[in-house]
Amino acid sequence: MTDLNPTPRRIGIRKAARALFWVLVGVMTILALYPRLTLPEPQATQGMTQYYSHALGFSVLMFVGAVGWGLRRNLVAGVTLGAIGLELAQIFSPGRQANLLDMLASLAGVAFGFALIRILLPALHKPIA
């Protein structure tokens, strides 16, 4: 969906979302390639926290990107390839290793973010009162 008559407020939101998108890309890249940190994990999650964080991170990235640029094929393809590429790049990062389940969790996050934005994007394009 394209907005033929964007308001200054909407333009400001899109610019902020675009900037936040690139900040998130940088943070996620650093976290993905930095040597493994041992963080305490709640007993209730039993090793699932890393998968939740992958899914949440890529869901948020998709959502923010779609707010900034709209839901475009290039965005979906880029975030999907980014999820795969970051996991494969861990092969070359000391102290890290690629994990298929991490990659699947990241791709699930991309899919969830895509579905969420498909539901919410029409509401975001309604005129602001």
pLDDT tens digits, residue range 85-105?
999 998 888 878 888 999 999
Assess if residue 41 is contained within a domain: no
Contact 109, 57 (CB under 8 A): yes
Assess if residue 99 is contained within a domain: yes
| pLDDT surpassing 80 at residue 106 | yes
Q: Which residues of 20-29 are buried (b: 16+ CB within 10 A; e: fewer)?
A: bbeebbeebe
Q: Rounded mean pLDDT of 49-71? A: 90
pLDDT, position 46 = 56
Residue 75 CA to chain centroid, in angstroms? 10
Assess if residue 44 is contained within a domain: no
Assess if residue 113 is contained within a domain: yes
Assess if residue 39 is contained within a domain: no
Q: State the total domains in the chain.
A: 1
Assess if residue 58 is contained within a domain: yes
Contact 54, 98 (CB under 8 A): no
Assess if residue 3 is contained within a domain: no
Contact 110, 62 (CB under 8 A): yes
Higher-confidence position of 76 and 1: 76
Q: Which domain holds residue 75?
A: 8-34+49-124
Query: What value does the mean pLDDT of the chain take?
Result: 83
Per cent of the chain over pLDDT 70 is 77
Taking the model in full, what pTM does it have? 0.78
| pLDDT surpassing 90 at residue 65 | yes
Assess if residue 81 is contained within a domain: yes
Q: Rounded mean pLDDT of 109-113? A: 94
